[in-house]
Structure 1
Amino acid sequence: MTDRATTSKATTSTTIRMSNDFTQYVKILGRGKKGARSLTLEEAEHAMSLMLSGNVAPEQSGAFWMLIRIREETVEETVGFTKATRQYLLKKQPLGINIDLDWPAYAGKRNELPWFLLAALALANTGVNIVMHGHMFDGENRMYVEHAISKLGLVVCNSKGQLKHELETSHFAYMPLAEIDESLGAMMDLKYVLGLRSPVNTVVRMMNPFFANNSVHGVFHRGYDQLHLAACEQLGDASVLVFRGGNGEAEVNPERDVTLGKWQDGMATWSDWPKAEKEHKRLKDNLDLSRLTDHWRGDQLDQFGGQAVRQTVASVAGLLYGVSSHEECLVLADDIWARRDKGYFDSIL
């Protein structure tokens, strides 16, 4: 046997052995109605660490995520996946700058603009260091925030050095998931093969990749706000805001009541905010990005977008500054919006 054949055989043997370490978790999940069970926290953590290490076959990870998706992930599984991901990311080179707010943006908007981007920029204008991260799926009828960021002349960061520079100069930076970590990006892209999103969408919202002091999670499905908050408690997170936002993004839909879940100071609290718009003001399917820039400059006030931005800024400001009253949060939001640099887009377009 040649040296090349021997090496190839050894590599194949190692891959099979590593894959077999993961097989146990697929078996646990897929033994049928009576035999299957959810993973313990420790099992979920180990399974995720194996996937992130690259020692799991694509067929295995696809089966694994889809089996969980059928019944939806548990709190323990979410905590395990997130712990493994954070430990994995902790081994990477640190960013070397303090982050005030982690803002995952993975859902995309179906028939409205990403008004939450203006909310983030308004907060950044006051000196709040914000890292936004997300992922785009080609061929979907959605407006992803990365598309808007690129078209508006903002920087899409491809390195930590670039991310740090943007934070130091404008206090806002966006980085695609695949640039944060290639393995996590590949997990998200399983959707192209499987046809469905997986629980990885929960993990990337929970992971807080640069270990910010605060985090805001937008969710879409009912009950996921409770799952996120319960997971935050077990993870020992310091300060997190969770709510069912517009199309699943962290954006308050002003045409609906919203329930805000907050985990802060070791305690979970819930508050209900009434809808700000009694009538439908959405300009459905008008995705002209000039609506964002015109509203920012004050040239053309957008009735739907204005309330979406105001309520979103208020919700996040309440988290950052420890304010719970809706009225007090709105006062904060109005002050933050009034202090924005109206010429911001002129300087970058």
Structure 2
Amino acid sequence: MTIYTGNEFTQYVKILGRGKKGARSLTIDEAEHAMSLMLSGAVAPEQSGAFWMLIRIREETVEETVGFTKAARRYLSSKTALNVSVDLDWPAYAGKRNELPWFLLAALALANSGVKIVMHGHSFVEEDRMYVEFAISQLGINLCESLAEVEVSLANLNFAYIPLEKIDSTLGAMMDLKYILGLRSPVNTVVRMMNPFFAEHSVHGVFHRGYDLLHLSACKQLEDKSVLVFRGGNGEAEVNPERDVTLGKWQNGLASWSTWAKAEKEHKRLKDCLDLSRLTDHWCGHQLDQFGEQAVRQTMASVAGLLFSIDSHDECLALADDIWSRRDKTVLHCVN
């Protein structure tokens, strides 16, 4: 059994846990150092659990998010180097609770048009959610186990999916603290922000109100190049066509916000129908899914606006329609 006797990390638990009057949030430097210690394996599980839950109670600040992300990016910089440039980083960590992961079709269509996309995520097996990893495994797309496989998949499809634990087992273990603690931690924000393959663009889906602003504010301090963030379906980067969506964009050193009106005026979501054939039938053109059509279209339009620096909703939709019309229908294992 390893005994952690040093005080290098305990100072941060003390800062966070000194009570209502004595506790404070971490500075960027403190958060970066604390995260670096955890990633190096120099922190006891009890310490990291206490640390994350103390922050979870009040939610992470922008400065803490920046510090955690800087540490994660530096840690990954020597681990995730690819021999190919990635255009779009697409974290997918939330899972879908009451609909299918339609955003996967949006990503595949964009990839089919030449955009190189790496999607990464993590599954909690006991939760009643459909994670994109499961959908991908059932649709004939390879789940990458290594960086070499990511490069092969990008060469073949312009798309690759790799589980978080295959990117780094330490980060995967941090996510799995939820099994012990019973709650998700701010690590969920870090894995969305970290952009492990240093793509030119990144799209973040969030669930809770205010986290879109937190992400965009952190992107500013991190001096990121091009990021889209919005409150998506169940927290994934998927536009829910039955609700208005506010898109936050950080690009060219400027933040901008735009609101798109809901595309579906009637309720067309099929909560009790999570049959993956809905995805394949819609992709292959065998059957038009009324909810899926707009979920894919609006999601693809929002991301295309980021990739090609387009602000007009109508222009984004026109581009999305053109990309969709030219998709390779043989990419997925279609039924019928």
TM-score by shorter chain over 0.5: yes
Taking the aligned partners of 2:201 and 2:229, their CA distance within structure 1 comes to: 11
CA displacement, residues 22-52 of structure 1 (integer Å, 9 cap, x when unaligned) = 0000000000000000000000000000000
Return the match for 1:128 from 103, 109, 115: 115
Taking the aligned partners of 2:147 and 2:335, their CA distance within structure 1 comes to: 21
Task: State yes or no: 1:336 paired with 2:317.
Answer: no
Corresponding residue for residue 4 of structure 1: none
Aligned residue identity for 1:31:
R
Taking the aligned partners of 2:64 and 2:323, their CA distance within structure 1 comes to: 38
Shift of 1:167: 0.1
Task: State yes or no: 1:112 paired with 2:99.
Answer: yes
Taking the aligned partners of 2:272 and 2:219, their CA distance within structure 1 comes to: 35
Taking the aligned partners of 1:298 and 1:98, their CA distance within structure 2 comes to: 32
CA displacement, residues 233-282 of structure 1 (integer Å, 9 cap, x when unaligned) = 00000000000000000000000000000000000000000000000000
Shift of 1:343: 1.8
TM-score (norm 1): 0.95
Q: 1:198 to 1:42 in 2, by over 3 A?
A: same
Within-5 A mapping of 1:32-181? 32-92=19-79, 94-181=81-168
TM-score (norm 2): 0.98
Task: State yes or no: 1:208 paired with 2:195.
Answer: yes
Name the structure where helix makes up a greater proportion of residues: 1
Corresponding residue for residue 289 of structure 2: 302
**Contact between 2:284 and 2:334, CA under 8 Å: does it hold in 1?**
no
Unaligned runs of 5+ in 1: 1-7
Taking the aligned partners of 1:101 and 1:347, their CA distance within structure 2 comes to: 26
Task: State yes or no: 1:238 paired with 2:225.
Answer: yes
Taking the aligned partners of 1:221 and 1:152, their CA distance within structure 2 comes to: 30
Corresponding residue for residue 221 of structure 1: 208
Taking the aligned partners of 2:178 and 2:140, their CA distance within structure 1 comes to: 29
Taking the aligned partners of 1:203 and 1:284, their CA distance within structure 2 comes to: 30
CA displacement, residues 94-114 of structure 1 (integer Å, 9 cap, x when unaligned) = 111100000000000001000
Taking the aligned partners of 2:79 and 2:171, their CA distance within structure 1 comes to: 14
Taking the aligned partners of 2:334 and 2:263, their CA distance within structure 1 comes to: 32
Taking the aligned partners of 1:347 and 1:283, their CA distance within structure 2 comes to: 20
**Percentage of pairs with the same residue:** 76
Within-5 A mapping of 1:220-299? 220-299=207-286
Taking the aligned partners of 1:90 and 1:107, their CA distance within structure 2 comes to: 25
Taking the aligned partners of 1:311 and 1:22, their CA distance within structure 2 comes to: 45
Shift of 1:328: 0.4
Return the match for 1:27 from 3, 6, 14: 14
Larger Rg: 1
Shift of 1:285: 2.0
Shift of 1:198: 0.2
Aligned residue identity for 1:16:
T
Aligned residue identity for 1:37:
R
Kindly report the root-mean-square deviation, in angstroms, between the aligned alpha carbons of the 2 structures.
Answer: 1.3
SS at the partner of 1:229?
helix
Task: State yes or no: 1:16 paired with 2:13.
Answer: no
Taking the aligned partners of 1:340 and 1:150, their CA distance within structure 2 comes to: 20
Q: 1:346 to 1:109 in 2, by over 3 A?
A: closer
Corresponding residue for residue 184 of structure 1: 171
Task: State yes or no: 1:322 paired with 2:309.
Answer: yes
Taking the aligned partners of 2:252 and 2:270, their CA distance within structure 1 comes to: 40
**Matched residues, number:** 336
Taking the aligned partners of 1:170 and 1:109, their CA distance within structure 2 comes to: 24
**Contact between 1:154 and 1:348, CA under 8 Å: does it hold in 2?**
no
**Contact between 1:48 and 1:84, CA under 8 Å: does it hold in 2?**
yes
Shift of 1:91: 2.0
**Contact between 1:102 and 1:212, CA under 8 Å: does it hold in 2?**
yes
